[in-house]
Amino acid sequence: MRPRLTARLTARGRLALLHTAMVSAAGAVLTVLIYLLMRRSLGTRTLVERRTAPGTEQELPEPPEPPGLPGLAERARGEALATLVTQAGIALAVVSLLAAALGWLVAGRVLRPIRAMTATARRVSAENVSERVPVNAPADELSGLATTVNGMLDRIQRGIHERDVALESQRMFTANAAHELRTPLATMRTAIDVTLDGEPGREELTTMAHDVRAAVEQSRRTLDGLLALAGSQAAPRERLPADLADAADAALADAAAEARARGVTPRARLRPAPVRGEPVLLERMARNLVDNALRYNHPGGRVTVEAGTAAGEAFLRVANTGPRVAAEAADGLFAPFVRGDDDRARAERGAGLGLAIVRAVATAHGGAVTAKSRPAGGLDITVRLPSGDGGPG
């Protein structure tokens, strides 16, 4: 029966009951002590005062006790103790009732912040996480609990916001990827339908074949870019020693023929920039930066590539001449499927994933990438990664 009764009681009731029990127990102990002390005191009053003659130290003889006096004293002692017990019991009952009422009030006041937390938690939902528990002075255990609950709600709110942003980004990415893959398919179907609508000659069939081949090549570049982006977003399983200067030098060597064909002059200032990571991904990052600087350029333009270390970080900087880019639009170029606005870039129809892969590789290696538009035209892109001088990562 007792466990069931305790289970039915609220926290306020249990606190009030505990307070009443403690006061009652203390009162009972005090009553017993008073009773024992009073009983002992009444029992020792049989001592008789010493009677002496005035001006002398000689004890006078004690007067004889009246008959029946010991019995009368014993009855008076018993009555006094009984009266003490009765009055103490009444007082203890009154104090216990007062303790119960006071304990109920105090427990309610102590539990008020917890009730506020419970009400706030009930109002919180996936759509409404802006509620916060009030934190009252002084700084005690309850205010610490309220602060902890508010911190938990802050983390939940940030997590929901990040989830929504990630879902929206994923939806946009999926829609853009579907559009990029659907466009060449539509181009191929249109070319085939137009060519086969009648009696196509050899020249028309050849033109159709070229259109279909270009569309297939565009689809291949898009798929390759998507696969590279997916692989770049994962952190490297094994971090090997690498150098951004070597990756940049290899990228410039691979792009030398394209730079001559475009009439662009590359310039390199490469100093050691040791890092630890996946060399293949780092080389892909450097090649994408150089390819982007060549593609979005103009004949007679320049591409400047620098590598080195600064402030404990390794950096790779690629700056190019070219069309002007709005300052507020520079960072948006790292989003997937974003291309330049100039006519030449639109004609080449890149996959629009080059700079997205650059950012993914930098993030996977614990670094960051920034882009600034140049007043004279072109971009200035810098990748910063943790330096690899500190040993294995």
Residue 111 lies in a domain: yes
Among 90, 123, 156, the domain boundary falls at: 123
3-class state of residue 225 by DSSP: helix
Which residues constitute the domain of residue 93? Answer: 2-41+76-123
Residue 175 lies in a domain: no
119 shares its domain with 245: no
Q: In terms of Cα–Cα distance, which of 305, 267, 326, 299 is closest to 381?
A: 305
Q: Is the Cα torsion angle 163, 169, 174, 175 positive or negative in sign?
A: positive
pLDDT surpassing 50 at residue 47: no
- Per the structure, how many domains does the chain have? 2
The CATH number covering residue 253 comes to 3.30.565.10
Region 336-351 average pLDDT: 55
Beta-bridged to residue 268, according to DSSP, are: 305
Residue 101 lies in a domain: yes
pLDDT band for 7, please (50, 70, 90 cuts).
low
Of the candidate ranges 151-165, 224-238, 249-263, the one whose mean pLDDT is the lowest = 224-238
Residue 310 lies in a domain: yes
pLDDT band for 261, please (50, 70, 90 cuts).
very high
pLDDT tens readout for residues 115-162: 777 777 777 765 577 777 777 666 667 777 778 878 887 887 787 777
Provide the pLDDT for residue 49.
40
Q: Is the Cα torsion angle 352, 354, 356, 360 positive or negative in sign?
A: positive
Residue 304 lies in a domain: yes
pLDDT band for 234, please (50, 70, 90 cuts).
low
Residue 153 lies in a domain: no
- Which tokens go with 122? 């009930």
Residue 66 lies in a domain: no
Residue 174 lies in a domain: no
117 shares its domain with 242: no
More confident residue, 183 or 190: 190
Do 135 and 147 touch, CB atoms closer than 8 A?
yes
Q: In terms of Cα–Cα distance, which of 230, 213, 222 is closest to 182?
A: 222
